[in-house]
Chain A
């Protein structure tokens, strides 16, 4: 459906994005995730047609829409876009905003489509109001409905939740995913917030320095990061030194863990094993003891920083009724289904 092939994007002499590729199937939601300045928004703008492509090409539904030599202008790409600041038209009503992209439709048909979208985004009967009368979350929904109205081949969302309260953000992220899935829309989301990316997207590309470091499902990104950068960027965790003991096992100070994700490393070599906070479980009966050196209350759980006998530290998520004092020794156990190890 969307095929971004080897694109390079430049502002003047400065290269923002280099040789970036990814692919989205029909109906799939992709996400470009990265810190600000990594080039993710520039990629989105290139797909929309607001930035020229210096090299490579963008193919949308079998049609090349951008190449270094020629490009289809934004208005002809049949792409919907939701902007960070929503960019609702303040002089038009909600219905006017949503129906704006439908100017070529007969009036009755357009009204029906607008009504249908108002229902889809949960703003039934509010078409006569104006953008400034709506809350941030409602404006966001209108922006989404406006972008979906002309049935775009592809929907682009540029940091769509960054102007919302944290609480609203999570709920709306789920709503947006549900709305997009209900409409069967292929979409690309850009965000710096991994929770948002995980909540909305099927496939996530972790970006840094103008490149995608890994393009994978959220589960894979978290549990099977392709490199140390992705491992660091996604979620929390630490690296513990370990030694490969067999074809599928690695020995760390918490014991031997098997089902290791294959690495190019001979037996007996030294590796760093990624340990996530959810890999370390609190177990009073466990012989392995660790000292609590820091704790962060997160409501349902504590995030403990624990010091092992060797002096290495690990993180552990523990249900918050296990309230241990700093300095206390607690029993822990590594409950690791599969580990990922990186060669030294």
Chain B
């Protein structure tokens, strides 16, 4: 075992990590936003809306992420081209981002839905009785409380997403794991590089997970 080639490869590994983190951040933001909309739709008294959202969530929760990534890699450029009428290539990063957002939204939706349902019906009635509309009630009363309750769960799901971002290797995106692999191939120390990547994933995921647990304790007190 020779770990010394890792040192000169650190800058390109860092590049990969940046891509991973960028992908993660955008996916979480987009996924939570879309997930919240889906959750509101699922809880809506409008049957059609609720059924459509339910179908979306169940569909994406029933297929492998890897399938979604590869599928979007081929389909998203086509759809965007069809919408904009141009034929510009949009790149693997964007199609991966869209795939993650849409896939994770299904999971975030269920967390947000549970969070909203955990807020007592009385809060909604109290807001209505004070003259608030549905939108104001959701924005000012229900969602702030719901998000506070579900922050730990959203973070846990995001830690899983952090690990799942490595699936972008399937479409050749140079994320952290893929950089480690390619650097390993170049220097011929693949095992060492993969061990190193594993260690980094472990440190970040485990560290974040520990922090979330502490946060959870603080929020429940």
A residues lining the B interface (CB < 8 Å)? 48-50, 73-76, 78-81, 83, 85, 87-91, 100-101, 103, 146-147, 150, 156
Contacts and interface: CB of A to CB of B under 8 A. Distances in A.
A76 B125 CA distance: 13
Given A85-B120, A91-B148, 19 more contacts: A48-B129, A50-B125, A50-B128, A74-B128, A74-B129, A75-B130, A80-B129, A80-B130, A83-B125, A85-B122, A87-B125, A87-B126, A89-B123, A89-B141, A91-B145, A100-B130, A101-B130, A146-B126, A150-B131
Given A90-B145, A91-B145, A83 B122 contact: yes
A87 B123 contact: yes
14 contacts: A75-B130, A78-B131, A79-B129, A81-B126, A83-B125, A83-B126, A87-B120, A89-B126, A91-B144, A91-B148, A100-B130, A100-B140, A103-B136, A147-B130
Contacts of B141: 89
A100 B141 CA distance: 10
A147 B129 contact: yes
Contacts of B65: none
Nearest to B125: A50
Interface string B119-147: 01011011111111100100011001100
Interface string B154-170: 00000000000000000
Contacts of A85: 120, 122
B148 to A, nearest CB: 7
A50 B124 CA distance: 11
Interface of B: 120, 122-123, 125-133, 136, 140-141, 144-145, 148
B121 to A, nearest CB: 9
Contacts of B120: 85, 87
A81 B129 contact: yes
A54 B136 CA distance: 29
A85 to B, nearest CB: 6
B137 to A, nearest CB: 8
B130 A146 contact: yes
A79 B131 CA distance: 8
Nearest to B121: A87
A87 B128 contact: no
A48 B131 CA distance: 11
Contacts of A100: 127, 130, 132, 140
